[in-house]
């Protein structure tokens, strides 16, 4: 573990140092109790049973029971506080990681698969918990047990101890060599698990497309190959671990055989006792058990270190749209402008070129053009999901980079074509969990949009649970809920990103009224494919290949007979 990882994760551990201290103290008591038990067994056999001293046997039996009680209680305390600490650290890690992820720029989530992110929040954080609860502390206990066991067998009979531990160096060397191989194998296992999570998440999220284009078999075969790779690698890792365990077992049996043979000879010659042999057999188990379990401990340790590297990579992700040191704080009226703006997602291929447009307070402007022309990118720059490469985006004649993102966005709302509905009640989907929005505001917004009557027909009205992505309501109804969501926040600037492109036929008229109500008194920037909905816009910007090639009112653009005229005529002919 390098210094960077140590510095990153140590504060999480130190936060619960009191719990860890209790756990370590309990572990010390448990280790000492475990070490004393075989010695007491030796004393009971040699000093009391062999000479039929029942009074002494009773006393040592009571002491034996007391030590066993200490062992039981101390192990219970150690396990409880270790697991409690692990769960608390895991909770803190998940919360901090989630907060950090939410602070990252949209570009990060465009680049990183959501399945990979979920793996970090679940599996990798869980591996950290395993490191604490079953890894480091357990390893410390095992090593302490091994050291004390060696000390005690040499204290009891040094000659027999030298013979008994003769195979131990071979066991340690095997553990190190095979352990390194296990490290590499389990790294591959973790990589395959990430691929499985990504593949499952993407296929389940896009199941409609998968089935619509009949690619189930192709995707199943791809998943089968990944799953097969995981199975083969995991099986190899398991078999390698089993080999290590069996090598340790074999060497431990050799040690036991040596104790029985040479210990028996020593006993017959009066240089050892039956109690010594019994104690040695127990202590040998203490010696080889840590090495036998090393495959599991090594896996936990390597999993945790690998997860720490990956989690640290997420924590160090700097793809953040930063707030200014001295932000402007003034009431936003709703004037928006882009001046000589150029932008590229990959810093190579231009997406927007020399964009100049304005939307004054209360104006309705429209952006039209072919798919991929750059319309949605303009909305992303206004919301400051991205920063322009050159030029400036302003709100009320102030560069958006001079506002705090949160403050500026609180005066904006966006309605997307593909409305996202969270799993929760209708009320929660309108307020997005904002407790400051009252019931009266929710109902008022819903009535103004025209969705209140529909909501009241649902089984529990505003308390009706919507499924993930709102699959238990129609597309048009989801659109109306998103309108109510935008209205209840009372934005000064409204962005409708292709909001009229996927309208349910039965609710089209209701949605048209909702859109009009939503735009009343607000600066509205509409991106639409249905050009009939923007005929009354104050200004229409026609965008083609990242450039504004035409601008004006509907009447002006129709008279020019340029691209807008072609697009409008094309749609009219289809109708």
Is the pTM here over 0.85, yes or no?
no
DSSP annotation of 44: I
Confidence class of residue 226 from pLDDT cuts 50, 70 and 90?
Answer: very high
What average pLDDT does the segment 368-386 reach? 90
Give the SS3 label for residue 324: coil
Rounded to whole angstroms, the Cα distance separating 141 from 29 reads 10
What average pLDDT does the segment 286-297 reach? 75
Q: Are 301 and 135 in contact (CB under 8 A)?
A: yes
What average pLDDT does the segment 411-432 reach? 87
User: Is pLDDT larger for residue 454 or for residue 338?
Assistant: 338
Mean of per-residue pLDDT scores for the chain: 86
Confidence class of residue 501 from pLDDT cuts 50, 70 and 90?
Answer: very low
Q: Are 193 and 230 in contact (CB under 8 A)?
A: yes
Q: Which pLDDT score, from 0 to 100, does residue 294 have?
A: 66
Rounded to whole angstroms, the Cα distance separating 223 from 100 reads 31
DSSP annotation of 461: G
What average pLDDT does the segment 222-229 reach? 91
Q: How far is CA 401 from CA 318, 322, 388, in A?
A: 17, 8, 10
Q: Which pLDDT score, from 0 to 100, does residue 388 have?
A: 93
Q: Which pLDDT score, from 0 to 100, does residue 507 have?
A: 62
Rounded to whole angstroms, the Cα distance separating 524 from 365 reads 6
Q: How many residues does the chain have?
A: 575
Structure tokens at 570: 């094309």
| Three-state DSSP string of 218-255 | HHHHHHHHHHHHHHHHHHHHHHHHHHHHHHHHHHHHHH
Give the SS3 label for residue 537: coil
pLDDT in tens, 109-125: 777 777 778 877 887 88
Q: Which pLDDT score, from 0 to 100, does residue 59 have?
A: 92
Confidence class of residue 327 from pLDDT cuts 50, 70 and 90?
Answer: very high
DSSP annotation of 278: H
**Location of structure tokens 């901090």:** 96
Q: Which pLDDT score, from 0 to 100, does residue 370 have?
A: 87
What average pLDDT does the segment 415-421 reach? 82
Q: Given a cut of 80, is residue 154 above it in pLDDT?
A: yes
Q: Are 71 and 38 in contact (CB under 8 A)?
A: no
Q: Given a cut of 80, is residue 424 above it in pLDDT?
A: yes
What average pLDDT does the segment 434-456 reach? 90
The vertex-515 CA angle with 511 and 518, nearest 5°, equals 135
Rounded to whole angstroms, the Cα distance separating 289 from 273 reads 24
Q: Given a cut of 70, is residue 42 above it in pLDDT?
A: yes
Percent of the chain with pLDDT over 70: 95
Half-sphere exposure of 473 (CA within 13 A, CB side): 32
3-state percent helix, strand, coil for the chain, nearest multiple of 5: 65, 10, 20
Q: Given a cut of 90, is residue 202 above it in pLDDT?
A: no
DSSP annotation of 464: P
Q: Are 160 and 255 in contact (CB under 8 A)?
A: no
Beta-bridge partners for 557 = none
Q: Given a cut of 80, is residue 572 above it in pLDDT?
A: no
What average pLDDT does the segment 123-142 reach? 76
Distance of CA 318 to the CA centre of its chain: 17
Distance of CA 501 to the CA centre of its chain: 34
Q: Show Cβ contacts of residue 301 under 8 Å, excluding neighbours closer than 6 positions.
A: 131, 135, 136, 139
By CB atoms closer than 10 A (0-12, 13-18, 19+), residue 566 is exposed
Confidence class of residue 107 from pLDDT cuts 50, 70 and 90?
Answer: confident
Beta-bridge partners for 393 = 338
Q: Are 68 and 37 in contact (CB under 8 A)?
A: yes
The vertex-227 CA angle with 221 and 228, nearest 5°, equals 85
Half-sphere exposure of 480 (CA within 13 A, CB side): 26
Percent of the chain with pLDDT over 90: 39
Q: Given a cut of 60, is residue 418 above it in pLDDT?
A: yes
Confidence class of residue 574 from pLDDT cuts 50, 70 and 90?
Answer: low
Q: Are 536 and 365 in contact (CB under 8 A)?
A: no
Give the SS3 label for residue 403: coil
Give the SS3 label for residue 466: strand
The vertex-198 CA angle with 197 and 199, nearest 5°, equals 95
The widest CA-to-CA distance across the chain, in whole angstroms, is 120
**Location of structure tokens 């640290």:** 312
Q: Given a cut of 90, is residue 212 above it in pLDDT?
A: no
Q: Which pLDDT score, from 0 to 100, does residue 295 have?
A: 60
The vertex-573 CA angle with 571 and 575, nearest 5°, equals 70
Q: Which pLDDT score, from 0 to 100, does residue 506 have?
A: 60
Rounded to whole angstroms, the Cα distance separating 388 from 320 reads 14
């Amino acid at each position: 573990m390098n210094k960077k990882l140590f510095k990153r994760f140590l504060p999480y551990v130190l936060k619960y140092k009191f719990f860890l201290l209790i756990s370590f103290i309990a572990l010390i008591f448990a280790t000492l109790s475990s070490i004393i038990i075989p010695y007491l067994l030796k004393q009971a056999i040699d000093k009391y049973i062999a000479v039929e001293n029942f009074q002494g046997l009773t006393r040592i039996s009571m002491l034996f029971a007391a030590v066993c009680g200490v062992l039981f209680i101390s192990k219970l305390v150690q396990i409880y506080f270790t697991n409690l600490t692990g769960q608390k650290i895991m909770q803190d890690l998940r919360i901090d990681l989630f907060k950090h992820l939410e602070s990252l720029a949209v570009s990060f989530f465009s680049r990183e698969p959501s399945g990979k992110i979920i793996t970090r929040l679940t599996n990798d954080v869980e591996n950290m918990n395993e490191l604490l609860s079953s890894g480091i502390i357990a390893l410390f206990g095992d090593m302490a047990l091994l050291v004390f066991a060696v000390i005690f067998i040499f204290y009891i009979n040094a000659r027999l101890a030298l013979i008994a531990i003769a195979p131990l160096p071979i066991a340690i060397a095997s553990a190190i060599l095979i352990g390194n191989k296990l490290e590499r194998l389990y790294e591959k296992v973790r990589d395959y698990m990430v691929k499985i999570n990504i593949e499952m998440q993407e296929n389940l999220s896009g199941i409609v497309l998968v089935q619509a284009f009949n690619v189930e078999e192709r995707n199943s075969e791809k998943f089968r190959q990944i799953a097969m790779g995981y199975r083969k690698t995991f099986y190899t890792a398991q078999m390698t671990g089993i080999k290590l365990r069996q090598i340790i077992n074999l060497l431990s049996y050799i040690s036991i055989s040596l104790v029985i043979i040479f210990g028996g000879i020593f006993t017959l010659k009066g240089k050892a006792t039956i109690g010594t042999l019994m104690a040695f057999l127990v202590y040998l188990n203490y010696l080889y058990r840590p090495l036998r379990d090393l495959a599991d401990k090594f896996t936990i340790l390597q999993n945790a270190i690998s997860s720490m590297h990956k989690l640290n990579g997420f924590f160090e992700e700097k793809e953040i749209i930063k707030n200014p040191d001295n932000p402007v704080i003034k009431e936003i009226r709703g004037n928006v402008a882009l001046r000589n703006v150029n932008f590229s997602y990959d810093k190579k291929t231009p997406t927007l070129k020399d964009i100049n447009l304005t939307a004054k307070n209360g104006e309705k402007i429209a952006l039209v053009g072919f798919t991929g022309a750059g319309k949605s990118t303009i909305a992303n720059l206004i919301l400051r999901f991205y920063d322009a490469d050159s030029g400036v985006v302003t709100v009320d004649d102030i560069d958006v980079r001079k506002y705090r993102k949160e403050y500026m966005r609180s005066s904006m709302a966006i309605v997307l074509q593909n409305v996202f509905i969270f799993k929760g009640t209708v009320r929660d989907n309108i307020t997005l969990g904002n407790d400051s929005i009252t019931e009266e505001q929710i109902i008022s917004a819903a009535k103004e949009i025209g969705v209140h009557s529909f909501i009241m027909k649902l089984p529990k009205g505003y308390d009706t649970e919507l499924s993930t992505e709102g699959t238990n309501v129609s597309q048009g109804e989801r659109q109306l809920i998103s309108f109510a969501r935008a209205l209840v926040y009372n934005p000064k600037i409204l962005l409708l990103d292709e909001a009229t492109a996927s309208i349910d036929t039965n609710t089209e008229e209701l949605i048209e009224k909702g859109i009009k109500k939503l735009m009343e008194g607000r600066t509205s920037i509409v991106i639409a494919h249905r050009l009939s909905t923007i005929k009354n816009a104050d200004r229409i910007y026609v965008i083609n290949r990242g450039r504004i090639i035409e601008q004006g009112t509907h009447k002006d653009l129709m008279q020019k007979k340029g691209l807008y005229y072609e697009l409008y005529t094309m749609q009219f002919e289809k109708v």
